[in-house]
Structure 1
């Protein structure tokens, strides 16, 4: 009896399916950081994200998913057809069964606000830190800085 119960629960936990509660060609997006809210349950057509498993796009009725964000560009396709681009340092994205999406990032800035000269000098400083790091913790911290600055340059 107990085995059947475990198997039944396991089957329910392992099931993946498309979101079934969504309708139309938009979905509600909440996108923010501890410092600012960019979208608060606003309807959008598509979101493209950088994640640990690669870049992927979210459309209505996407498979419910949780993703870890890596430094990179989040592109938001608005209802009016405009594309807004934001740089995120890291964070999480959750796609719910009702097609709502929640993106929480540690840091967010509009790609248009990125100062290329400041990023270039920050990258040089981070690469210098990486090459002169004397222990594993310093190397890891410097590598994170390098990765973020390189992603900002790419944005």
Structure 2
């Protein structure tokens, strides 16, 4: 059954984007034969594949980037748990490739069975590659032990007051972001 499906897929016409680009390139060659056709995004993409026959590695390679620095750069870790918008997502070696947006919450890095590092992240993205490499980019990240629970609760109260007294859409949106971040921060610090 799989062989029939694969054969059926290989007989199908090129995907619409590829066919549309071929049409564009043909038209370009007729209109401007002395100019190369324009590049498109797929010209710059490389296919990331794990080398065949290598199996699943024992460790996950983690890159954890912030605008002002790097927390982990090609570090070998056991696992990472990220606060994705769709829910907490655990990443182990061999994880399915995916991209997720981060919500305010706790990012947990298990470097070994006994060494666990936790960070509070405000927002960002996680990209899991098929090569057991995970890239985390966060706007802000703070080691969890550096969060002051009382300051987080005070920030939440202030953000709720700002939301209640907001007079325009921009002020409401800014206050709502504050409520979401301080709610997650207060929960993480307990």
Q: Deviations over 1:50-86 (max 9, x none)?
A: 1111111000010101110000000001035311100
TM-score normalised per structure 2: 0.71
Q: Which residue of 2 aligns with 1:5?
A: 14
Aligned mate of 2:140, from 84, 103, 107:
107
User: 2:57–2:94: 8 Å Cα contact kept in structure 1?
Assistant: no
User: 2:57–2:132: 8 Å Cα contact kept in structure 1?
Assistant: no
| Secondary structure of 1:4 counterpart | coil
1:55 equivalent in alignment to 2:88 = yes
**Unpaired stretches in structure 2, ≥5 consecutive residues:** 1-11, 19-48
User: 2:60–2:78: 8 Å Cα contact kept in structure 1?
Assistant: yes
**Count of residue pairs brought into register by the alignment:** 145
Inter-partner Cα distance in structure 2 for 1:68 and 1:139:
22
1:46-125 to structure 2, matched below 5 A, reads 46-79=79-112, 81-125=114-158
Inter-partner Cα distance in structure 2 for 1:80 and 1:124:
37
Q: Which residue of 2 aligns with 1:24?
A: 57
Q: Considering only aligned residues, what root-mean-square deviation do their CA atoms show, in Å?
A: 2.0
Higher relative contact order (CA 8 A, sep 6+): 1
Q: Which residue of 2 aligns with 1:126?
A: 159
Classify 1:80/1:55 alpha carbon distance in 2 versus 1 (closer, same or farther; 3 Å).
closer
Q: Which residue of 2 aligns with 1:44?
A: 77
Normalized per residue, the structure richer in strand is 1
Shifted more, 107-116 versus 74-83: the winner is: 74-83
Larger Rg: 2
TM-score normalised per structure 1: 0.86
Inter-partner Cα distance in structure 2 for 1:123 and 1:6:
50
Shift of 1:104: 0.5
Q: Deviations over 1:84-126 (max 9, x none)?
A: 1000000011011101000000000000000111111111111
